[in-house]
Amino acid sequence: MTAVKSSQPPSSATTTCSLRSSLLTLAIFTLLSFTLISLNSLHSPSTIITTSSKAIKYDEAEILDNEEVFTDVFHSPEVFRLNYAEMERKFKVYIYPDGDPNTYYQTPRKLTGKYASEGYFFQNLRESKFVTDDPEQAHLFFIPISCHKMRGKGISYDNMTVIVQNYLEGLIAKYPHWNRTLGADHFFVTCHDVGVRATEGLPLLVKNSIRVVCSPSYDVGFIPHKDVALPQVLQPFALPAGGNDIENRTILGFWAGHRNSKIRVVLARVWENDTELDISNNRISRATGHLVYQKRFYTMKFCICPGGSQVNSARIADSIHYGCVPGKI
């Protein structure tokens, strides 16, 4: 294996800040995009968009890019820029205050391990400028329940479903916000298989509101026109970040894991004998050495991220952290 130039690991504060900012930006922007689409609040390119204290009028001539006319509002860089600026200025989220933080509500279980993404989502949202105490100003409503905390208390999946159902019904009875849209402007985070199993028996919640889930697949009821993918991140990373070392990346592609899905079976069968690729049809044993799996990333150009049997996967985030271009299959 090619040696990797040693470097000092970034400080935990810097890494955490960067990670938190990235997760928050991704989650907030994606949630806003779905909300704007569902409420039909985007306008055609020939319109007036207000920014700051003045209105800017633009037409097709202003959204030209090298003689190409953007006929679709979603393909216009100018419309995107203006709408994003408007989002940064006006977008608000109301977090329901109900529920004891010492039980299953309001706060995450922890900010480490494979469930760290859920924890950072809770924390970053609450600390962001987008939160409002006035529900009348809110564009979205967050249901702050953590199935991961229930798991930590040893609650069964059936009882988890009952707890979530009772909490939701309590919010619907107490507040008017759900009934205005039947929950279309509400969202909750289940960034793991536990949350998916705990809520799959609640069609009122799963089919109506926005579900934020890690590395989703259609096998778990992911609804692409409304649900949001939140990247799973394992914290802390075992090794320093990679990148800017193309001379060390001598292998075209890499994947190691179990054949626990159809796509993985096909991947291993077709590519395992390809000399340009490093394909292992099983997980790399720790007995082969310390952090062998993580070190492999440093010598790869592309890292293949095939869907498996689980809802969540940290392969994409690991690939980016170690400087390997992720390829989602």
pLDDT in tens, 207-219: 999 988 876 555 6
10 Å CB burial of residue 256 (0-12, 13-18, 19+) is middle
Q: Are strands 47-51 and 54-58 parallel, antiparallel or unpaired?
A: antiparallel
Contacts of residue 7, defined as CB under 8 A and 6 or more positions apart, other chains included, come to 240
pLDDT winner (highest mean) among 82-91, 118-127, 240-249 = 82-91
Question: Is the entire prediction scored with pTM above 0.85?
Answer: no
Q: What is the pLDDT of residue 281?
A: 66
Q: What is the residue type of 22?
A: S
Look over the chain and give the mean of its residue pLDDT values, rounded to a whole number: 76
Give ∠ CA 274-277-282 in degrees, rounded to 5: 95
Burial class of 303 by CB neighbour count within 10 A (0 to 12, 13 to 18, 19+)? buried
Q: What pLDDT is attached to residue 221?
A: 72
DSSP conformation class of 131: B
Q: What is the pLDDT of residues 63-122, one digit of tens each?
A: 444 445 556 656 788 888 888 999 999 999 999 999 888 787 787 777 777 777 888 888
CA 109 to chain centroid:
18
Distance CA 82, CA 80 (A): 6
Tokens of 91: 């977008």
- Per-residue pLDDT at 10: 47
**Burial status of residue 118 (CB atoms within 10 A of its CB: 0-12, 13-18, 19 or more):** buried
Report the pLDDT value the prediction gives residue 115, as an integer from 0 to 100: 74
- For residue 182, the model assigns a pLDDT of 93
Residue 210 tokens, joined? 């926005």
Confidence of residue 190 (pLDDT cuts 50, 70, 90): confident
State the first-to-last Cα distance of the chain, in angstroms, to the nearest integer. 26
CB neighbours of 106 closer than 8 A, spacing ≥ 6? 95, 97, 99, 100, 122, 144
Angle at 308 between CA 305 and CA 312, to 5 degrees: 80
Model pLDDT, residue 20: 57
Give the residues across from 248 on adjacent strands: none
Contact 30, 271 (CB under 8 A): no
Q: Out of 73-77, 141-145, 186-190, 233-237, pick the least confident.
A: 73-77
pLDDT of 124 above 80: yes
- What is the pLDDT confidence band of residue 55, given thresholds at 50, 70 and 90? very low
pLDDT of residue 71: 60
Tokens of residue 45, six digits: 């390119």
In the predicted model, is pLDDT for residue 59 greater than 80?
Answer: no
pLDDT at 33 over 60: no
Q: Which residue has the higher pLDDT, 51 or 145?
A: 145
Residue 262's pLDDT band, with cuts at 50, 70 and 90, is confident
Evaluated on CA atoms 257, 263, 265, 267, the torsion sign reads negative
Q: What is the pLDDT of residue 24?
A: 59
For residue 187, give the H/E element and its range: strand 186-189
Report which of residues 61 and 53 the model is more confident about.
Answer: 61
- Pair 32, 87: CB distance under 8 Å: yes
**Contact in structure between 261 and 309 (CB atoms under 8 Å):** yes
Q: pLDDT at position 195, please?
A: 78
